[in-house]
A and B are shown apart, each in its own frame.
Chain A
């Protein structure tokens, strides 16, 4: 079922406990990328390049507005251990989400004509899963 992203959600637990229960406030977007590295194994006689899959990589980003009541994103950016990150596309389908241990970075962009915007990238700091699990 196709749903709106309006009711997306980003949760984070700095101690890495699953499931995280604290929402990172004032965010309005997240992006996750699953890419599987490939190793070239082209041999004599092949008519084109040939690859075999390696390990899947997980990374992504979050973005939103700076909210002075919370600094979870910036605290996460300086954490030396990965926190538990959970990304929900739509809270009306709360059983669908991606989660895993992640290291985050944080950026803030302030201009004279708008609300300060924040953004952060993340990369896997442990195994990631998609819920519910596929067949």
Chain B
């Protein structure tokens, strides 16, 4: 039985299990909202954030045939090698097969690059760096 959430989980697992990315962003890989650091247990300051920007299902007669999910995958940090982390994300996702039970991988490709700075809402002296991309992953059922 295909479960769409398993696609999210597979992507996150792929990012979590990479030592190079973990070295650059040691606080973890989170979906939607950053949690406490898996390294220190304190607030995360160097992490990877994954979210769904858009999702399109394509049907054939009798059911869903393709799930096309546009993920925002970015390194978010106060310090550290965000450039290297974004490059590593690209190496891990672009054109890289994703194994998910119930699905057949079709493609993984970046549609847009993301690079922006964000001033912290609470402490204006803090600037967050966001670096990564919008990646479309297509899986067929």
Interface of chain B: mostly helix, strand, loop or mixed: strand
Q: Which of A3-11, A74-82, A94-102 contacts B (4 or more CB under 8 A)?
A: A3-11
Which residue among A10, A23, A64, A91 has the maximum number of chain B CB atoms within 10 Å of its CB?
A64
Tally of contact residues, B, Cβ under 8 A: 11
A65: Cβ under 8 A from any B Cβ: yes
Tally of contact residues, A, Cβ under 8 A: 15
Given the complex, which residues of A lie within 8 Å of B61, measured CB to CB?
6-10, 23, 27-28, 64
Complex CA gap A63/B62 in Å reads 14
Is the CB–CB distance between A6 and B138 below 8 Å? no
Complex CA gap A65/B68 in Å reads 14
Knowing A115-B138, A115-B140, say if A6 contacts B59 (CB, 8 Å).
yes
Report A62 CB to chain B, min CB distance, Å.
10
B60: Cβ under 8 A from any A Cβ: yes
Complex CA gap A27/B61 in Å reads 6
A72: Cβ under 8 A from any B Cβ: no
Is the CB–CB distance between B60 and A115 below 8 Å? no
Which B residues are within 8 Å of any A CB, using their own CB? Answer: 58-62, 65-66, 106, 109, 138, 140
